[in-house]
């Protein structure tokens, strides 16, 4: 049975890694917020398109992570490497396909979704460079799956620091044209992110070669495509791939609805979303830990301890989030001023921040219970639960944003509803469903 110390030892490197990674998002938003509202809004739309495609690969890596964790818990260490190698090969091929499709389909799709010509032009300038990141980011997520699956998560912190430092420096140089470089604006932000992802991949390769027992984990030789193993990975991953894509696609729908309210409203939504993502970091870290530890625990024969483990992690997540929420609620202007120095924009963003604060309290528990379902190997059940919740999410935001055209803060209320529904459905599933004997 895992102790609180064990949970924390796995979680805190993931937390630090996510924190460093999200410096990229914060930096892009903060720098572009000082370039102009059009660039700020366009980076939100272009960035969300990129993330929607990226989450297909991320979903595959989560399924791989579950399988790696189960083999690690069973003590079948040599079976870990083949999952990593086959998954990495598959995702590299997928990157080529999705890069080509994005290059062809992004312009008409984004044009359909964005009504403003200036935001469309800036979003495409961003995306034309940003999609080169697929080739690096898709492989990076498999290294992440490997290290979380074998519960050696400290490397994620080091990797994310490298990625963040490279991105922050290049953002400053390329966006504003420093040290003799031309001033590139939003294009500079995209190029900086791609180079940062490339630096991240180089770090993972060097660290794995130098620090990991390649023979123990079956990483010491390259293998041909094993369609049987790849099929087994996909039998778990296909559901998480669809799940993560749908989750991000609904975010895209949210921003499409807000974009029709105006450039100012889109800028507010991007700022608050950036804060939202940062506040989610401790929740994401503990949720990822839940996913991995549940799978490891089941693999080691500890099924009877799973619910107790989930409850303990959920309490940790709730307490940490209460502290974060208190800081945001007491000092909203100080936090918002990181992203903009325009007084009116700052003041108008406060109501949306208060709504997100409420959502985060519920999310702190909901995400832990929901990720536990995937950790049991029941990724199909997780997809069904999320899909039902997201159908309601999409209908609500379409009505409140496009039909009623309510203020941004009211649009953000959907996050409160979403996490409430997710928590209730996940808790009922874990209490009532027969998930204990799932074989993967």
Tell me the pLDDT tens digit for each residue of 311-366: 999 999 999 999 999 998 899 888 888 777 778 888 888 999 999 999 999 999 99
Residue 10: is it exposed, middle or buried by C-beta count within 10 angstroms (0-12/13-18/19+)? Answer: buried
Distance, CA of 221 to CA of 252 (rounded, Å): 41
CA–CA distance, 246 with 240 (Å, rounded to integer): 10
Q: How far apart are CA 264 and CA 241, in angstroms?
A: 33
Sign of the C-alpha dihedral computed for residues 70, 76, 79 and 80 taken in this order? positive
The answer on pLDDT for 185 being more than 90 is no
Residue 417: Cβ within 10 Å count: 16
pLDDT band at 55 (very low <50, low <70, confident <90, very high): confident
Nearest to 279 by CA among 321, 219, 332: 321
Residue 300 in domain: yes
Instruction: Please indicate, yes or no, if residue 438 is contained in any of the structural domains.
Output: no
- Farthest-apart Cα atoms in the chain, separation: 63
Lowest mean pLDDT among 10-14, 159-163, 260-264, 414-418: 10-14
Residues 372-377: what's their mean pLDDT? 85
For the residues 291-298, what does the mean pLDDT come to?
A: 84
Residue 264 has pLDDT above 90, yes or no: no
* pLDDT bucket at 422, cuts 50 / 70 / 90: very high
Write down the mean pLDDT value for the chain. 86
List Cβ neighbours of 145 (8 Å cut-off, separation of 6 or more): 61, 62, 64, 65, 68, 84, 87
Residue 56 has pLDDT above 80, yes or no: yes
Give tens-digit pLDDT for 121-152.
Answer: 888 998 999 999 999 999 999 999 999 888 88
Return all residues near 6 (Cβ < 8 A) that are at least 6 apart. Answer: 293
Residue 439 placed within a domain = no
Per-residue pLDDT at 439? 66
pLDDT computed for residue 17 by the predictor = 65
Percent of the chain residues past pLDDT 90, beyond the cut = 30
Number of domains in the chain: 1
Structure confidence at residue 95 (pLDDT): 97
200 pLDDT more than 90: yes
Closest of 394, 328, 336 to residue 356, by C-alpha: 328
The alpha-carbon radius of gyration of the chain (Å, integer) is 21
> Cβ–Cβ contacts within 10 Å for residue 277, how many?
16
- Taking only the tens place, the pLDDT of each residue in 224-256 is 788 888 888 888 888 888 888 888 778 778 877
Q: Is 159 within the bounds of a domain? A: yes
The answer as to whether 266 is a domain residue is yes
Neighbours of 318 (CB within 10 A): 17
pLDDT band at 298 (very low <50, low <70, confident <90, very high): confident
Which structural domain, as residue segments, surrounds residue 263?
4-432
Band of the pLDDT at 378, cuts 50, 70, 90?
confident
Q: Establish if 270 belongs to a structural domain.
A: yes
**Mean pLDDT, residues 191-202 taken together:** 94
Q: What is the DSSP letter of 152?
A: -
Closest alpha carbon to 10 in 371, 288, 375, 312: 288
How far is Cα 292 from Cα 420, in angstroms, rounded to an integer? 24
pLDDT greater than 70 at residue 21:
no
Q: Picking from 71-75, 275-279, 424-428, which range would have the lowest pLDDT averaged per residue?
A: 275-279
Report the percentage of the chain scoring pLDDT > 70: 95
Residue 23 banded pLDDT, cuts 50, 70, 90: low
Considering 45-54, 70-79, 360-369, the range whose residues carry the highest mean pLDDT is: 360-369
């Amino acid at each position: 049975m895992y102790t609180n110390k064990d949970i924390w030892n796995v979680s805190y490197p993931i937390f630090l890694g996510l924190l460093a990674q999200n410096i990229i998002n914060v930096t892009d938003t903060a720098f572009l917020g000082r370039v102009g509202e059009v660039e700020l809004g366009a980076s939100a739309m272009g960035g969300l398109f990129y993330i929607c495609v990226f989450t297909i690969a991320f979903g595959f890596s989560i399924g791989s992570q579950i399988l790696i964790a189960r083999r690690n818990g069973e003590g079948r260490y040599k079976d870990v490497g083949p999952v990593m190698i086959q998954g990495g090969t598959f995702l590299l091929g997928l990157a080529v396909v999705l890069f080509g499709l994005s290059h062809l389909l992004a312009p008409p799709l984004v044009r359909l979704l964005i009504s403003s010509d200036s935001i469309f032009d800036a979003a495409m300038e961003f995306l034309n460079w940003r999609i080169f990141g697929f080739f690096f980011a898709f492989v990076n997520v498999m290294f992440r799956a490997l290290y979380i699956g074998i519960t050696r998560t400290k490397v994620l912190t080091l990797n994310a620091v490298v990625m963040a430092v490279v991105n922050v420096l290049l953002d400053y140089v390329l966006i504003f044209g420093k040290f003799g470089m031309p001033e590139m604006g939003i294009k500079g932000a995209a190029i900086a992110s791609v180079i940062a992802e490339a630096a991240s991949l180089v770090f993972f390769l060097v660290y794995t070669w130098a620090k990991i027992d390649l023979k123990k984990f079956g990483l010491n030789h390259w293998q041909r495509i094993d369609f049987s193993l790849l099929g087994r990975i996909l039998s778990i991953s296909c559901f998480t791939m669809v799940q993560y894509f749908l989750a991000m696609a609904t975010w895209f729908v949210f921003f499409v609805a807000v974009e029709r309210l105006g450039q100012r409203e889109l800028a507010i939504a991007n700022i608050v979303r950036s804060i939202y993502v940062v506040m989610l970091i401790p929740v994401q870290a503990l949720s990822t830990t839940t996913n991995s530890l549940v799978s490891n625990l089941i693999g080691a024969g500890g099924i009877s301890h799973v619910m107790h483990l989930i409850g303990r992690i959920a309490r940790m997540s709730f307490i940490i989030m209460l502290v974060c929420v208190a800081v945001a609620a007491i000092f909203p202007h100080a936090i918002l001023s990181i992203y903009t120095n325009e007084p009116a924009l700052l003041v108008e963003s406060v109501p949306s921040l208060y709504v997100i604060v409420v959502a985060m309290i519920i999310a702190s528990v909901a995400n832990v219970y929901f990720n536990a379902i995937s950790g049991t190997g029941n990724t199909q059940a997780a997809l069904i639960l999320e899909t039902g919740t997201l159908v309601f999410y999409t209908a609500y935001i379409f009505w409140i944003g496009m039909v009623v055209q309510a203020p941004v803060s009211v649009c953000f209320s959907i996050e409160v509803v979403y996490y409430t529904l997710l928590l209730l459905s996940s808790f009922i599933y874990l209490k009532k469903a027969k998930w204990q004997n799932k074989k993967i």
